[in-house]
Chain A
């Protein structure tokens, strides 16, 4: 097996690179030359680790989900990224990048956000460090993730609506990139996923790799074995999946399951299942799989989950899926909503709509009874209560509960 690692130019196999306009070159090149050395600095490591422990609340628990395990006849552990400060895995990356931004002397932070979790995580670290924060968010997402918009405002961030295209994550990313072109000197762009030009995909994966690092030793403590049979994670751009897969990438004993949003159905025309519908191209500075027309126009995706409503995937995931190292599963809105309801009532945990897709994938997977599965519970679902209530009103009118 070939080792899975990024090369100096930011390629995983044929995917990656830095396809950016010249206006962005100095900033991206500065990051490329800095990030690896910076991450090895003892001063960075000390501050990063102490913030992850005392501010974020790491390590996040690895929890044996007993009722869910019984239901599926397999051992299921949940990696509880939802218990991190701000309620998702996104903060692991924003802590790392804000320290890098300070190191580079940047005064102004911009970010894109879909579900709002990355926006909140960015606004949080900006408040912590006293830096100006501007978050671009699609107008559609501003409406469907209102609680996170309120949190960002409370944290002092300016939320700027992206009104072009599908008015979702793709368009918010376009606007953030345009902002960076206009403000090249004082601004750092904290990308929230393993997308964008090199070094972002690798940098974000490294900051998120704390997830799989902890899974290894926590699983050993629980089971005496430091690797699971499979790791399951949802993929929009793919940052929680990259973090949960990271230390198992080159361990073929571990199946890697990337769960995408099928929206109303993979072939319904309203979907975000990039690994099935995507072809090779360039999006947001990276050569990867994306949903596009034969003329290279990027297709507007659809998913009920704002965090998965993205027409591309990170180049690492494109490489993992195309090379056969990872398996892709796609899950519809409807199945994700039902999975969220089931997990909530079986384990007392309300997962984010994004994460609910990973749970729904269990219904489509084959496994042996003695398998040990780890699901990355990437975020909590408070932000999605509106969508959940609409679903409940439909499946449980008049408040009649189904027996589990």
Chain B
């Protein structure tokens, strides 16, 4: 069984998914970050593939990606880094990036390398549902990878059902109309949206992302979904922190509420 599906089969709530930018702060920190996140008790890890033009991302993730590219990270090198760390951990790993990166690497080659590396899922926010359904779905599913699609407060119920059908593993529920890292706190309007989606009884579990940054927002999001995703806040912590291990331990403990 795919590690993401196995995770959601045995854990129904408070799933903590952390996004980080590969090759950041230093090129060879990818493995250290994953090891530290696993040691801190994170359930799921999104490996951000740094991109020159990340349209859905705010300045924090954008700048970390720019730095990672300056550090010399390539997709080929990233797969090598991930292969090494995969020997040590069974944590579910999701690759997140932009469609153009995969297209240039070669869609088939990318999937093959994901399988060989032990990657479990993919998030490509600018790959449209239509293109996926008509062109890429079969290959992705045959490779045993879970593709997660996004829904937003503006997504129509009809389209949410399509996302539910096409997503495997989990649905990425964008908490508000925003790029990553843009808003703080969770409003009543957002809660109404979380409740509306929760009442739809979708087949695929949901994780809430965008605007989740600390224990308060994580806990609130977890009340309406299987868990939540944190990205920019963790990158900010890494940027400000001294060592990856120590920063990660403190950050994750704070989010989980194990220290106050």
Task: Tell me if A297 counts as interface (CB < 8 A to partner B).
Answer: yes
Specify the chain B residue showing the minimal Cβ separation from A170. B53
Complex contacts, A19 vs chain B, CB 8 Å: 99, 126-128, 131
A-B contact count, CB below 8 Å?
Answer: 106
Least distance between B228 CB and chain A CB atoms (Å)? 18
Which of B25-33, B148-156, B199-207, B249-257 lines the interface with chain A? B148-156
Whether the pair B126, A297 counts as a contact (CB closer than 8 A) is: no
Give 25 pairs: A residue, B residue, CB < 8 Å, sorted on A: A9-B130, A17-B131, A20-B55, A20-B128, A22-B151, A22-B155, A23-B56, A25-B128, A25-B152, A25-B155, A26-B154, A177-B55, A178-B55, A178-B179, A181-B178, A281-B100, A281-B103, A282-B103, A293-B104, A295-B75, A296-B51, A296-B102, A296-B105, A297-B69, A298-B100
Whether the pair A295, B126 counts as a contact (CB closer than 8 A) is: no
Least distance between A65 CB and chain B CB atoms (Å)? 40
Complex contacts, B149 vs chain A, CB 8 Å: 22
Task: Tell me if B217 counts as interface (CB < 8 A to partner A).
Answer: no
Q: Which of B31-82 contact A (CB under 8 A)?
A: 51-53, 55-56, 58-59, 62, 66, 69, 74-76
Which of A182-190, A315-323, A375-383 lines the interface with chain B? A182-190
Inter-chain CA distance A283–B104, complex, in Å, is 12
Inter-chain CA distance A178–B60, complex, in Å, is 13
Inter-chain CA distance A18–B129, complex, in Å, is 10
Assuming the contacts A25-B155, A298-B53, asked whether A285 and B179 have C-beta atoms less than 8 A apart, the reply is no
* Among B53, B62, B150, B155, residue most surrounded by chain A Cβ atoms (within 10 Å): B53
Q: Which of A1-60 contact B (CB under 8 A)?
A: 9, 17-23, 25-26
* Among A18, A177, A279, A282, residue most surrounded by chain B Cβ atoms (within 10 Å): A282
Task: Tell me if A338 counts as interface (CB < 8 A to partner B).
Answer: no
Whether the pair B177, A183 counts as a contact (CB closer than 8 A) is: yes
Complex contacts, B127 vs chain A, CB 8 Å: 19
Task: Tell me if A174 counts as interface (CB < 8 A to partner B).
Answer: yes
Task: Tell me if B226 counts as interface (CB < 8 A to partner A).
Answer: no
Specify the chain B residue showing the minimal Cβ separation from A296. B104
* Among A19, A280, A292, residue most surrounded by chain B Cβ atoms (within 10 Å): A19
Least distance between A312 CB and chain B CB atoms (Å)? 10
Give residues in B with beta carbon < 8 Å to A: 51-53, 55-56, 58-59, 62, 66, 69, 74-76, 98-105, 125-128, 130-131, 149-152, 154-156, 159, 174, 177-179, 182
Whether the pair B52, A21 counts as a contact (CB closer than 8 A) is: no
Inter-chain CA distance A285–B100, complex, in Å, is 10
Specify the chain B residue showing the minimal Cβ separation from A164. B62
The one of B75, B104, B152, B177 in contact with A281, judged by C-beta atoms closer than 8 angstroms, is: B104
Task: Tell me if A130 counts as interface (CB < 8 A to partner B).
Answer: no
Complex contacts, B74 vs chain A, CB 8 Å: 295
Whether the pair A296, B154 counts as a contact (CB closer than 8 A) is: no
Give residues in A with beta carbon < 8 Å to B: 9, 17-23, 25-26, 164-165, 170, 174, 177-178, 181-185, 279-285, 292-298
Complex contacts, A181 vs chain B, CB 8 Å: 55-56, 177-179
Whether the pair B104, A22 counts as a contact (CB closer than 8 A) is: no
Specify the chain B residue showing the minimal Cβ separation from A166. B52
Complex contacts, B128 vs chain A, CB 8 Å: 17-20, 25
Complex contacts, B52 vs chain A, CB 8 Å: 165, 297-298
Least distance between B213 CB and chain A CB atoms (Å)? 17
Specify the chain A residue showing the minimal Cβ separation from B163. A22
Specify the chain B residue showing the minimal Cβ separation from A285. B126
Least distance between A168 CB and chain B CB atoms (Å)? 12
Specify the chain A residue showing the minimal Cβ separation from B57. A178
Least distance between B125 CB and chain A CB atoms (Å)? 4
Complex contacts, A9 vs chain B, CB 8 Å: 130
Whether the pair B101, A296 counts as a contact (CB closer than 8 A) is: yes
Whether the pair B177, A295 counts as a contact (CB closer than 8 A) is: no
Specify the chain B residue showing the minimal Cβ separation from A292. B104
Whether the pair A296, B103 counts as a contact (CB closer than 8 A) is: yes
Complex contacts, B58 vs chain A, CB 8 Å: 178
The one of B51, B55, B98, B155 in contact with A26, judged by C-beta atoms closer than 8 angstroms, is: B155
Complex contacts, B62 vs chain A, CB 8 Å: 164
